[in-house]
């Protein structure tokens, strides 16, 4: 009995070369037929070797190595290999297992125990912290390539869903009080942190998107805009803009000042050098615009006061560079070129890494007392408790204040005097 393919081939061979319409119709019929044929996935493949992974034994060895009461590798080695303390890792693992049934230790249809939550999350963490490919985790963790990739995707999604609201939050009043205290220590009253952008190279960017994602470097990148404070906490993370954009384009699309413009963020009242202000500001480099909420350095300072201010601003602004450096050292996956194919997965990976970075900062206990006061620092900084949602006219007016050039110039002059008079020995 002739096969479907031979029948179709004979139809094509019998078509008259002189009759173009008939020939085209025959080809269309062939394409339609094969497009509707469902691929049949069989079971075992003839000649394919089945590997016995010994998953239960692998879990037992891993548990003894890291999680047992008397583990083979102590807390210092655990911290170096997982980039966080064992207590924090166990907390994350338990929350993820409770959140997603995929990580629950289950038996298959044959009654054999599958991979444990510890094995799956460790495989995902090895990819995040060491940047290793998916098949590099098999020998020790007894986990296959496809399962590792699925574990990574589900793990980062679970981390974002569980911890994102707390560890990617906008600063509340208590947070702002801490940020202002840290800013005063740097000699910059009302300063809420430092802002900058980082490019993550995208190795497997689809060819049709490479022109969109190529910028000042000749390779596709995706941009992370971040605000970091002196304790390395990342307070703002806006990721996903193509690498063809610059920092100004990203800022115009960023939600950084949305809460401030809409009246949801606590306003900051402060007096410096005899002038009153109601908005905090961020230290930025030279490419950023002259906004009231941004303070830049002086490119060619003349005079001792301006030279000192430029030195102080450039030194304090490095906190966001330090934040990027620590983030990349903890999670090597965001330092090396990304090997994923879709930007949605890359976005989840970046957000999960920022969240766990903040969790590590909190776990390691860098704390600033929000009630701390400073000598010769002018009036104490206080967040305003009277904020409320604004009308359209108030929203437009708030945006104008945020982007006001005159306030930017006046604030810079006041900070020059403030640094020179009250913090002459910081830098």
β-strand pairing of 294-295 with 281-283 = parallel
E runs forming strands in 260-331:
267-272, 275-277, 281-283, 294-295
pLDDT per residue, tens digit, the chain (427 aa), is 455 445 545 554 554 445 556 555 555 555 555 555 444 544 456 666 666 678 888 899 999 999 999 999 999 999 999 999 999 999 999 999 999 999 999 887 777 788 999 999 999 999 999 999 888 888 888 898 889 999 999 999 999 999 999 999 988 888 988 898 899 889 998 899 999 999 999 999 999 999 999 988 889 999 999 999 999 999 999 999 999 999 999 999 999 998 888 877 777 778 888 888 888 999 999 999 999 999 999 999 999 999 999 999 999 999 999 999 999 999 999 999 999 989 999 999 999 999 999 999 999 985 444 444 434 333 444 444 444 567 888 888 888 999 999 999 999 999 999 999 988 888 7
Sheet holding 382-384, edge to edge: 275-277, 267-272, 382-384
SS (HEC) of 67-107: HCCCCCCCHHHHHHHHCCCHHHHHHHHHHHHHHCHHHCCCE
| Helices and strands, number each (H, E), in the chain | 17, 8
- State the residue for tokens 């906490």: 233
């Amino acid at each position: 009995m002739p096969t479907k393919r031979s029948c179709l081939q004979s139809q094509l061979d019998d078509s008259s070369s002189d009759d173009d319409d008939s020939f085209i119709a025959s080809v269309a019929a062939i394409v339609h037929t094969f497009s509707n044929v469902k691929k049949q996935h069989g079971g075992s493949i003839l000649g394919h070797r089945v590997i016995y992974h010994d998953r239960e034994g692998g879990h037992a060895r891993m548990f003894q190595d890291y999680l047992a009461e008397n583990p083979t590798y102590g807390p210092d080695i655990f911290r170096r290999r997982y980039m966080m303390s064992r207590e924090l890792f166990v907390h994350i693992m338990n929350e993820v297992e409770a959140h997603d049934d995929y990580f629950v230790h289950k038996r298959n249809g044959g009654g054999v125990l599958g991979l444990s939550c510890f094995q799956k999350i460790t495989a995902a963490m090895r990819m995040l912290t060491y940047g290793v490919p998916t098949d590099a985790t098999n020998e020790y963790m007894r986990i296959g390539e496809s399962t590792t990739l699925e574990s990574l995707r589900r793990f980062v999604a679970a981390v974002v869903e569980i911890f994102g609201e707390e560890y990617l939050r906008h600063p509340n009043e208590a947070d702002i009080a801490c940020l202002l205290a840290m800013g005063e220590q740097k000699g910059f009253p009302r300063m809420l942190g430092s802002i900058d952008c980082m490019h993550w190279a995208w190795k497997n960017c689809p060819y049709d998107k490479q022109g969109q994602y190529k910028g000042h470097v000749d390779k596709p990148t995706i941009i992370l805009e971040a605000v970091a404070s002196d304790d390395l906490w990342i307070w703002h993370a806006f990721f996903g803009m193509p690498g063809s954009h610059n920092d100004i384009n990203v800022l115009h699309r960023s939600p950084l000042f949305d809460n401030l413009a809409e009246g949801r963020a606590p306003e900051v009242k402060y007096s410096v050098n005899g002038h009153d202000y109601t908005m905090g500001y961020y230290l930025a480099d030279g490419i950023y615009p002259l906004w009231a909420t941004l303070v830049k350095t002086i490119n060619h300072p003349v005079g001792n006061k301006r030279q000192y201010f430029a030195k102080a601003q450039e030194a304090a602004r490095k906190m966001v560079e330090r934040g990027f450096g620590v983030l990349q050292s903890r999670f090597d996956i965001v330092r090396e070129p990304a090997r994923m194919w879709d930007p949605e997965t890359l976005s989840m990976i970046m957000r999960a890494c920022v969240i766990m970075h903040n969790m590590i900062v909190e776990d390691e206990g860098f704390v600033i007392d929000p009630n701390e006061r400073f000598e010769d620092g002018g009036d104490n900084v206080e967040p305003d408790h009277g904020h409320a949602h604004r009308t359209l006219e108030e929203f437009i007016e708030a945006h104008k204040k945020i982007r006001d050039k005159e306030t930017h110039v006046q604030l810079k002059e006041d900070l020059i005097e403030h640094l020179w008079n009250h913090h002459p020995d910081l830098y």
